Structure 1
């Protein structure tokens, strides 16, 4: 292998007769004048006498490359020529010498650019693609540290140098983004990342709109040496059941934010909350004041007439008069008050005010991962409140330490969410969830609060937030708008972005300020299984078989009977099955058993008669 054609300080062409190049592999260029640069193969081509180079229409093969091949002795018309475009790693002052020998490196020659942290102190996310030839020379602490998974072949051994993310550098380069289309492996990558954080006992919160972030079940057929028990490393909470909002703790700003999530709150509604809310209000006291003022404003004329005729009103009329005098001129139009009441009632129906955030806070202080579940819309509302509240607790602690004041310890933590484009969307709409996410994206590094945002659509994520994600995992992406955003927000070159629509599930490019370059990675096999891993069509078959077997076991105890006797046997069968069955449903199931050969059917003057087969 040797350098051919025109070279620059950024890339060279390498040709070989002996071997075909592997995409993403690292090559060692023996050019002492440039301190032996190393480069990554970003594009490969092979040509032979059946595909003449002189007629090949390819930007890779221009006149300078042809001349370079011929100059170093290649018979471009008579032998196979393997070519690689090689992007140099790092910066050199002058171009590489044409004709310089090229070889595969040994691990020690590239260790510094491939492994920045040991698996014991970092997050082992997968293997670096194109490093299979380095596997035999790996030190013991980098061998057999992970396994891979293929949908057809199952569990596979480690096939290259492990990619170990040095999470401690997030103090300088904060926040992680995980992006990819449906089926790309994005959620799998998020699971692996969260497993690694749990293994290091880094506390965190993950919003789980799909009810899949359960880490209790080991991945099927995972070798014992890779199994970890995460059951004591995470806690699951459901919004409105296990966690919620302590209304008495709400400030006016927090209450306005809660009511304004989802659909923006009007200025009139915000003014109404500012007017009516009093420090320390309970849900009952605030609601009583709100609904009382609505009633008073809707009945203002009768109330004023009654007061004029009887200045000593008592009971509820007096209370309504007092509300009208105290707040009527400040609270705005009654429609604004009704809007506040409607939204407050919606949150109350969801159970948001039946609990508080203490279970999540306790999980964080115990260095656990708090999984917060609920529908997307509810998580938008509650997540904004939760993120803001916990971020402010961490910030107050750090600020107090800087001032030399005493404060209760509150740990650093990560904030993660899937479907992040719903939480901090791009566009004119400015929900509270986007405002707090922006704030943490811009300031969180100083306080040890980091974001992990996963989304199918990077182009739909808020620009300010996207720009602050110093590490991005880019899985298969097909939409032109998303690929354009990837080009703007990462260091992926044209060669990598052209490959994005074709990446195999579980493969990604990791663009990070920590590594200094985009790295092609195959994500390791997760240690735990999502509850949603079963193929839905397999689920359908399994459920149908189980239901059919149960039905057969019940029916066989009632045989024989005829269709005209369904009014007798039908209710009994339904009771034993524990489900309601109409006569038609029962007949349909019986005929399925006939087709399966379990029942025989006889035609008689009174209709069908079902019997068991001999």
Structure 2
């Protein structure tokens, strides 16, 4: 292998007769004047006489061809393997043409590929293009991960990719981007496993109910038992919001999250009616009573007092309504009703039935806490829980800075899938403000973000700009690719590859490495509860129902179509169905066509029997 063509301080062309180049592999240029610079293959092709010569727009140009002919290559008959090599560090002057190029040993490039030890960092996968170093990799980095490729497991061949979590103090926040089926959610699961391995407190918002880590992947060895390292809680069941702990500002933010943006009149209603330490019942009753008082009006309430059939309790209630009307009668009825509707909507979602103590306890124990619920409920709850926990961490750090004693609250990571729903660009959303605050200031307090989305273009730009490490999986949409090109150091060649990446392959653009690294995510140790193929699920259900139906029919055969009324009642009771005679006849015909029953036409009736 040697350098050919015109060289620059950043890129060179290399050629070989025998060896085909691998994309993303690392090579060493033996140019002593430049201290043997290292580079990465960013583009490669094989060229021979069977290929037309019209390749002016590729890396084979006239200068390269002339250079090949001068050093003895027969352009008309030889197969020539060419590659563009991008240097890791800009050289002070161009590389000398004709220099030999060789494969490096691991020790020569370890500083480029490994930034921490496996026990201190997150083992996320295997660096592509490092397979040639398999013999020289040090023992501490061998057999660390299992890779799933072409549907089969294989052992690690190259250098493992280890993400140094401690560098987030300098380069905070991680983005995970990729389209449907790209391996994005799979990669996120691997990252969460590694966070559990390191016992880093993590808060996960799971709108898809898939972040469960109890089921192991068959055939994959290694990894810890994560059963005791995570807890899954549902909003309205195990966790919720303690209404009496809310300030007026908190109530305003929550009710603003329950629908469209609050009007100024609605904000005024909340500020006027909410009192410190209000319970949900007291605040809700106050608003409900004010709605009734405003609807009845002063004259209507006076007329009710003239009713002779009123009990003392009814009289007291009307007096209370009159007092409420006198105090808050200037508030517009429509705004009070709007606040009341939002409050009831949150209550129906179960938000005020529990508190967040289970979440706080899990984080204090260094566990991964998975919060599950529908998307809009998660957005509302995230506004409260992230803000509350972030304030706890800030208060602790601020107190320590001032030399005061404070109760320890741990640093933690906030993780969410479908992040563009939580912090959309150019739109207001419940959790957007607190996520932007953490993106900009969280590093100082030890609070970090892991945000995954299929649509990076729809994610708030302020947040996107603060994601110092980005995992870019297969992305097809041109607008998303353009956004990622702007936000990362992906080269034009890498941008062209994005729509064709295999599931599980990803570019890692990291400020820690100072360049983009191409990796394959390792096989996860656990699997999602939604792993089964829906078409297999449909087939299994149909087979189970047929077996159940044939079991009941076995006691009724031979069955004449004149007896279907009695048969359908018995089948419905035994199988828990609600069929009518017409539906039963359709099923009998289908079973006949599939060869599971036989059908005989007689002069008086049709008879169904065993096959």
Q: Could you tell me how far apart the structure 2 residues matched to 1:553 and 1:400 are?
A: 71
CA distance in 2 between counterparts of 1:136 and 1:554 reads 64
Equivalent pair of 2:305/2:318 in contact (CA under 8 Å): no
* 2: CA distance, partners of 1:113 / 1:374: 42
TM-score, normalised to structure 1's length? 0.95
Q: 1:253 aligns with which of 249, 255, 263?
A: 249
Whether the 8 Å contact between 1:363 and 1:369 is mirrored in structure 2 is yes
SS at match of 2:470: strand
Q: Retained in 1: the 8 A contact 2:255–2:343?
A: yes
TM superposition shift of 1:215: 0.9
- Cα distance in 2 between the residues matched to 1:67 and 1:554: 83
* CA positional deviation for 1:380: 1.0
SS at match of 1:292: helix
Identify if the C-alpha distance between structure 1 residues 269 and 14 changes in structure 2 by more than 3 Å, giving closer, same or farther.
Answer: same
- Structure 1 distance, partners of 2:23, 2:482, is 23
- Within-5 A mapping of 1:316-327: 316-327=317-328
Unaligned runs of at least 5 residues, structure 2: none
* Structure 1 position 384 matched with structure 2 position 380: no
Is 1:218–1:227's contact at 8 Å kept on the other side of the alignment?
Answer: no
Aligned mate of 1:177, from 175, 178, 196: 175
1:564 corresponds to 2:562: yes
Determine helix, strand or coil for the equivalent of 1:39: strand
Aligned to 1:398: 397
Equivalent positions of 1:132-147 (< 5 A) are 132-147=131-146
Partners of 2:151 and 2:58 in 1: CA distance: 37
Q: State whether residues 571 and 577 of structure 2, in contact with CA within 8 Å, keep that contact through their aligned partners in structure 1.
A: no
- What does residue 72 of structure 1 align with? 71
Q: Secondary structure at the match of 1:70?
A: helix
Give yes or no for contact 1:564–1:606 (8 Å, CA) kept in 2.
no
Which of 275, 296, 307 does residue 272 from structure 2 map onto?
Answer: 275
Q: 1:49 offset after TM fit, Å?
A: 1.8
- How much does 1:599 deviate? 2.1
Aligned residue for 2:498? Answer: 500
1:302 matched to 2:299? The reply is: yes
Contact 2:255 2:342 in 1 (8 A): yes
Deviation at 1:303, TM superposition (A): 5.2
**8 Å CA contact retained: 1:52, 1:77:** no
- Give the C-alpha shift of residue 252 in structure 1: 1.4
Cα deviation for residue 227 of structure 1 reads: 4.9
The residue that corresponds to 1:5 in the other structure is 5
Q: Partners in 1 of 2:422 and 2:604 — Cα distance? A: 64
Equivalent residues of 1:184, 1:505 under 8 A apart: yes
Q: Are the counterparts in 2 of residues 294 and 338 from structure 1 also a CA contact under 8 Å?
A: yes
Write the distance in 1 (CA, Å) between the matches of 2:250 and 2:298. Answer: 35
C-alpha distance in structure 2 between counterparts of 1:5 and 1:139, whole Å: 36
User: 1:597 Cα deviation (Å)?
Assistant: 2.6
In 2: Cα distance, 1:220 partner to 1:265 partner: 51
Q: 1:154 to 1:554 in 2, by over 3 A?
A: farther
Aligned with 2:93: secondary structure?
coil
Where do residues 115-194 of structure 1 align in structure 2 (5 Å cutoff)? Answer: 115-150=114-149, 152-194=150-192
Other structure's SS at 1:240 match: coil
Residue in structure 2 matched with residue 527 of structure 1 by the alignment? 525
Distance 1:51 1:566 in 2: 73
> For residues 127-179 of structure 1, what are the alpha-carbon distances to aligned partners after superposition, in whole Å with 9 as ceiling and x for unaligned?
111111111221112111111113x4322222311111001111111111000
CA shift in 2, pair 1:340/1:561, >3 Å: same
**Match status 1:291 vs 2:288:** yes
What's the CA shift for 1:42? 0.3
Q: Using the alignment, how far apart are the partners of 2:462 and 2:354 within structure 1?
A: 33
Matched, 1:226 2:225: no
In the other structure, the counterpart of 1:28 is: 28
Query: How far 1:185 sits from its partner (Å)?
Result: 0.6
| Separation in structure 1 between the aligned mates of residue 304 and residue 376 of structure 2, nearest angstrom | 45
**C-alpha deviation, 1:596, in angstroms:** 3.1
Residue pair 1:552, 1:593 contacting (<8 A) in 2 also: no
TM-score, normalising length: structure 2: 0.95
Q: Deviations over 1:476-517 (max 9, x none)?
A: 111111011001100111111111011111101000111111
Report the Cα offset of residue 392 of structure 1: 1.0
| Contact persistence 1:260–1:431 (CA under 8 A) | no
Aligned CA distance change for structure 1 residues 2 and 315 (closer, same or farther; 3 Å): same
> 2: distance between equivalents of 1:250 and 1:335?
24
Name the stretch that deviates more: 152-161 or 392-401.
152-161
Q: Does 1:92 align with 2:91?
A: yes
Partner in structure 2 of residue 457 of structure 1:
455
In the TM superposition, residue 550 of structure 1 has moved relative to its aligned partner by 1.8
Question: Once the 2 structures are TM-superposed, how far is the Cα of residue 309 of structure 1 from its aligned partner?
Answer: 10
8 Å contact kept, 1:303–1:317: no
Note the alpha carbon deviations across 1:509-552, whole angstroms, 9 max, x for none.
00011111100011111111112222211111111112211221
- Report SS of the residue matched to 1:136: coil
Q: CA deviation at 1:307?
A: 11
Residue matched to 2:45? 45
CA distance in 1, matches of 2:315, 2:574: 63
Q: Secondary structure at the match of 2:134?
A: helix
* Separation in structure 2 between the aligned mates of residue 68 and residue 325 of structure 1, nearest angstrom: 95
Instruction: Give, in whole Å, the separation in 2 of the partners of 1:159 and 1:584.
Output: 62
> What is the rounded CA distance, in whole Å, between the counterparts of 1:583 and 1:160 in structure 2?
65
Alpha-carbon distance between aligned partners in 2 of 1:145 and 1:308, rounded to the nearest angstrom: 81
Tell me if the contact between 1:220 and 1:529 (Cα under 8 Å) persists in the aligned partners: no
Question: By how many angstroms is 1:308 displaced?
Answer: 12
- 1:361 corresponds to which residue? 360
RMSD: 2.0
Secondary structure in structure 2 of the residue aligned to 1:340? helix
Offset of 1:572 from its aligned partner? Answer: 1.9
1:457 and 1:133 map into 2 onto residues whose CA distance is 36
Find the residue that maps to 2:431 and give its secondary structure.
helix
**Secondary structure, in 3 states, of the residue corresponding to 1:352?**
coil
1:257 Cα deviation (Å)? 1.3
